[in-house]
Structure 1
Amino acid sequence: MNLAEHGKTVRVHYIGTLDTGRIFDSTEGGDPYEFTIGNGQVFPALEQAVIGMAAGEVKNILVPAEEAFGGWRKENILTLERGRFPRDRELRVGQKLSIGFAGGQALVMMVVDAGEDMVTLDGNHPLAGHDLTFALKLEGVK
């Protein structure tokens, strides 16, 4: 029997849900997700859950927020004067912007408030602070 182990490439179908039951991602209706165990392509907890599984096996796992996208952090909120953006640039709540910082670093941030005088941006990952549940089905091991 060909089991998933470190260094092997696996194909999994999954449905990812939040505590509310809301689906945040799924391969349902599409191709399985393929990754190599140990290459850091997925959360370590997900890699560990797949190790030892055989093709056709199913498993549900919970990945705590701190082992997924981390906790929601207030320091990732940035409020700037509207004048720091081009005058003709429309800013809408929910819009994603790439913001450049000193040293050449850029971060994608989401507009959470766009007033006439101030704009508030959130640099947290949209799933930060959420525990994630994955329903997995291992489709194959190479």
Structure 2
Amino acid sequence: MVDETIKKGDKIQVMYTGYLEDGSVFDSNEGKEALSFEVGAGRIIKGFDDAVIGMKIGESKSITVKPEEAYGERHEEMVIKLPKTQFQGEEIKEGMMVSSNNGMQATVVSVNENDVTLDFNFPLAGKTLKFDIKIVAIN
């Protein structure tokens, strides 16, 4: 139904663009397939999930999601320094992504003669996110 409003348990399709506070786009499905998910199932960030409740097909809105309802706060204990010798044979550069032996992803924060500093926080942790969302379908 066109005037049906979204509630928990609905399967919906949305178009979205996600922005950082500085206005730069970090993710978008514009020109791609709509994002499909079940509302309230915990498959997307809480702030986005909660924001679609009560919306209707064709409705658009802009939302702001605080870190605690997105990817959480940054944790400084997840930034570690390792001896550069652990990366022998690899060309490590600042900004690149590396995987630990257990499969965790980290961003290389800095490299010097002796050490490599890695950040195991999710790249969007600690950030306030903004989204433009449009409801495409309620299934």
Q: What's the TM-score once normalised by structure 2's chain length?
A: 0.91
Aligned partners of 1:110, 1:17: CA distance in 2, in Å? Answer: 20
Aligned sequence identity (%): 36
User: Tell me, which stretches of 5 or more residues in structure 1 are unaligned?
Assistant: none
Q: What's the TM-score once normalised by structure 1's chain length?
A: 0.89
Partner residue, 2:99: 98
Partner residue, 1:10: 12
Aligned partners of 1:95, 1:21: CA distance in 2, in Å? Answer: 23
Structure 1: 4+ residue segments shifted above 2 A? none
Shift, 1:15, TM fit: 1.1
The within-5 A match list for 1:108-123 is: 108-123=105-120
The within-5 A match list for 1:1-142 is: 1-85=3-87, 87-100=88-101, 105-142=102-139
Count residues with an aligned counterpart.
Answer: 137
Shift, 1:29, TM fit: 1.3
Aligned partners of 1:139, 1:14: CA distance in 2, in Å? Answer: 10
Aligned partners of 1:62, 1:124: CA distance in 2, in Å? Answer: 21
User: Tell me, which stretches of 5 or more residues in structure 2 are unaligned?
Assistant: none
Pairwise CA RMSD: 1.3
Shift, 1:21, TM fit: 0.9
